[in-house]
C-alpha cells in the first residue's frame, strides 16, 4: 500500500514538473514575430513620433512600445542596414538596403523598441521599406 502511494505521488510530481517545464520554455522561447507581415498598429510621421517621445517618454512607450508602426519621413542618414529619418528616428533593417534612400521621403514599417534619451532617438527594429517617394 505504501509503495502504491509513493508511486502515485511520484507520478503526480513528475507530471506537474513536466507541465511546468513545458509552459516555462513555451513562454521564454516564443516564435519570433514577423513584423513585415503584420498590419501596423499606428501610421505616424517621424516628427510626430519623435515629438510624442520628447514630450512624455513614459506615455509614448505606453502607446508605441513593441507595437508595429508605419512611419513616414525624409531619410537624413543611411548605412548598409540602418537609415535615420528626420535626424532622430533610427531604423534598423533585417537585410542590407540596396536602394539609395538619402534625402528621399520613405514609408517604413517596423517594431518600436523605445526612446534613447542619451541620443534623443526613437529606435525602430525589424524594418522594411513600404514606399519610397522621390
The radius of gyration of the chain from alpha carbons, rounded to an integer in Å, stands at 23
CB atoms within 10 A of CB 134: 5
**What is the C-alpha end-to-end distance of the chain, expressed in Å?**
83
CA dist 72 and 77 (Å) reads 15
Residue 23 confidence (pLDDT)? 59
- Residue 45's alpha-carbon distances to 4, 14, 24, 50, 107, in angstroms, are 68, 54, 39, 9, 9
- pLDDT given for residue 16 in this prediction: 58
Predicted TM-score of the model (pTM): 0.73
The three cell numbers locating residue 12: 503526480
pLDDT in tens, 61-98: 999 999 999 999 999 999 989 999 999 999 999 888 88
Q: Which residues of the chain have pLDDT under 50?
A: none
- Percentage, residues of the chain above pLDDT 70: 78
Whole-number percent of the chain with pLDDT over 90 = 56
Q: Kindly report the three-state secondary structure assignment for every residue of the chain.
A: CHHHHHHHHHHHHHHHHHHHHHHHHHHHCCCCCCHHHCCCCEEEEHHHHHHHHHHCHHHHHHHHCCCEEEEEEEEEEECCCEEEECCCEEEEECCCCCCCCCCCEEEEEEEEEEEECCCCEEEEEEEEEEEEEC
Amino acid at each position: 500500500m505504501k509503495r502504491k502511494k509513493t508511486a502515485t505521488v511520484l507520478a503526480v510530481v513528475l507530471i506537474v514538473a513536466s507541465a511546468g517545464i513545458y509552459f516555462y520554455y513555451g513562454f521564454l522561447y516564443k516564435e519570433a514575430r514577423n513584423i513585415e507581415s503584420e498590419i501596423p498598429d499606428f501610421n505616424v510621421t517621424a516628427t510626430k513620433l519623435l515629438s510624442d517621445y520628447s514630450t512624455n517618454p513614459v506615455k509614448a512607450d505606453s502607446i508605441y512600445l513593441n507595437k508595429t508602426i508605419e512611419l513616414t519621413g525624409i531619410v537624413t542618414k543611411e548605412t548598409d542596414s540602418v537609415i535615420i529619418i528626420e535626424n532622430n528616428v533610427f531604423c534598423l533593417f533585417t537585410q542590407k538596403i540596396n536602394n539609395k534612400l538619402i534625402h528621399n521621403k520613405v514609408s517604413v514599417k517596423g517594431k518600436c523598441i523605445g526612446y534613447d534619451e542619451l541620443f534623443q532617438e526613437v529606435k525602430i527594429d525589424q524594418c522594411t521599406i513600404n514606399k519610397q517617394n522621390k
